[in-house]
């Protein structure tokens, strides 16, 4: 099994991922927002064990402890479809490579008339510059300080026509023009029942034909990218990759995206037949049903396969997310650790084994 994984070329997996993306467009060609395919950008890290060339390609995080960190970290940026939740592409790099650099390179390498949506982490000149070079549009949130540098300190709510030029602290994309990016800055005061009021500073390269209120509502879709990354890491078990080479790490990551898209495709088919949005279906329940369906495919009978597919879509359609009438109370961002009698491991395991061996020899 391991030899077969090593012989499987990475280019083949990438081509299959491209075919999956084309299949999603054929399943639901109307999944656009005012004629624009909306793509959500966000990134995360993946843990790796220090085997083979992994520490060289994906070195661990530099902490302040004198002992080196054990886990190696791989940084990745994933582009998701806002309507279906499918993974449309990715970019991987070491921890020294920022998410903005990976996202800008992905945008330049995938030109097209898309609308990229990102949070404050992607609200920099480099992302807008890369989108202009790729023929795409952006809707990103800016920090208060960056918005103040565009229209003056403490901007009031409203719409401002801006010309975004790179500052001395920006790192523009080398393959793109450094000319100013024309767009609009939307300063909106958002207030929801049960939540504290919040001021959003949104930059968009779209013109005045797209109203500000619709753009603010569209930016609310960005939260789904956080859920999609959680599904990838928790449900698809991609938070930690058990591989022994850097090349195999990327293969396992792409294979995980393929499996994730398979679940999303089944959810899209089930939602399309029922006239629902696939985002209203439970991903975890759909994954369990798809796993059981794959086990039933071992039966060579074509009639049973058709019945199994119809049963799968029926089960997924019934897996609706709960509709909460009242908002749940806010919880502290903390976790409760279980107390264990074992001490914390500092340093590498070979060093700990040598120390344990010395201790046993003394006794």
Over residues 264-285, the pLDDT tens digits come to 999 999 998 888 899 999 999 9
Same domain, 151 and 246: yes
Asked whether the predicted pLDDT for residue 206 surpasses 60, the reply is: yes
Same domain, 227 and 109: yes
Same domain, 291 and 218: no
Residue 32, domain member (yes or no)? yes
Same domain, 216 and 294: no
Range of the domain at 32: 2-280
- Structurally, how many domains does the chain consist of? 2
Same domain, 275 and 287: no
Same domain, 84 and 21: yes
User: Binning pLDDT at 50, 70 and 90, where does residue 109 land?
Assistant: very high
Residue 52, domain member (yes or no)? yes
Quick: pLDDT tens for 115-129: 999 999 999 999 999
Residue 330, domain member (yes or no)? no
Residue 363, domain member (yes or no)? no
Residue 324: the pLDDT is 74
Same domain, 160 and 308: no
Residue 315: the pLDDT is 93
Residue 342, domain member (yes or no)? no
Residue 64: the pLDDT is 58
Residue 196: the pLDDT is 80
Residue 340, domain member (yes or no)? no
Asked whether the predicted pLDDT for residue 327 surpasses 80, the reply is: no
Same domain, 113 and 244: yes
Asked whether the predicted pLDDT for residue 316 surpasses 90, the reply is: yes
User: Binning pLDDT at 50, 70 and 90, where does residue 65 land?
Assistant: low
Same domain, 168 and 77: yes
- Residues 33-59, mean pLDDT to the nearest whole number: 93
- Residues 148-177, mean pLDDT to the nearest whole number: 89
Residue 341: the pLDDT is 73
Is beta strand 115-118 parallel, antiparallel or unpaired with respect to 181-190? unpaired
- Residues 153-176, mean pLDDT to the nearest whole number: 89
Same domain, 24 and 67: yes
Domain final residue pick, 232, 256, 280: 280
User: Binning pLDDT at 50, 70 and 90, where does residue 262 land?
Assistant: very high
Same domain, 36 and 124: yes
Same domain, 58 and 179: yes
Residue 174, domain member (yes or no)? yes
CATH code at 52? 3.90.350
């Amino acid at each position: 099994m391991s030899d077969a994984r090593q012989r499987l070329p990475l280019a083949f997996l990438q081509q299959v991922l491209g075919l999956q993306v084309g299949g999603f467009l054929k399943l639901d060609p109307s999944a656009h927002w005012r004629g624009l395919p909306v793509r959500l950008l966000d990134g995360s890290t993946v843990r790796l064990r220090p085997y083979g060339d992994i520490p060289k390609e994906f070195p661990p995080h530099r902490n302040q402890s004198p002992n080196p960190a054990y886990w190696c970290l791989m940084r990745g940026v994933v582009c998701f479809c806002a309507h279906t939740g499918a993974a449309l592409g990715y970019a991987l790099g070491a921890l020294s490579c920022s998410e903005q650099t990976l996202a800008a390179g992905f945008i330049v390498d995938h030109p097209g008339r898309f609308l990229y949506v990102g949070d404050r982490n992607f609200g920099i000149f480099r992302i807008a510059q890369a989108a202009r070079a790729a023929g795409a549009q952006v809707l990103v949130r800016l920090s208060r300080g960056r918005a103040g540098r565009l229209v003056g300190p403490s901007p009031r709510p409203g719409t401002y026509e801006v010309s975004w030029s790179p500052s001395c602290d920006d790192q523009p994309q080398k393959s793109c023009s450094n000319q100013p990016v024309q767009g609009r800055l939307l300063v909106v005061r958002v207030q929801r029942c049960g939540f504290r009021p919040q001021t959003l500073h949104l930059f968009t390269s779209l013109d005045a034909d797209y109203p500000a209120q619709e753009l603010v509502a569209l930016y609310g879709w960005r939260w789904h990218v956080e859920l999609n990354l959680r599904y990838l890491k928790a449900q698809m078990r991609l938070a930690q990759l058990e591989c022994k080479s850097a090349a195999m790490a990327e293969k396992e990551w792409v294979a995980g995206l393929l499996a994730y898209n398979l679940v999303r495709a089944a959810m899209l088919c089930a939602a399309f037949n029922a006239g629902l949005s696939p985002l209203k279906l439970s991903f975890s329940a759909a994954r369990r049903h798809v796993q059981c369906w794959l086990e039933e495919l071992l039966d060579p009978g074509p009639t049973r396969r058709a019945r199994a597919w119809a049963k799968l879509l029926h089960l997924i359609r019934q897996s609706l997310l709960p509709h909460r009438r009242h908002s749940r109370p806010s919880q502290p961002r903390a976790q409760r650790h279980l107390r264990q009698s074992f001490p914390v491991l500092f340093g590498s395991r070979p060093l700990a084994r040598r120390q344990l061996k010395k201790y046993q020899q003394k006794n």
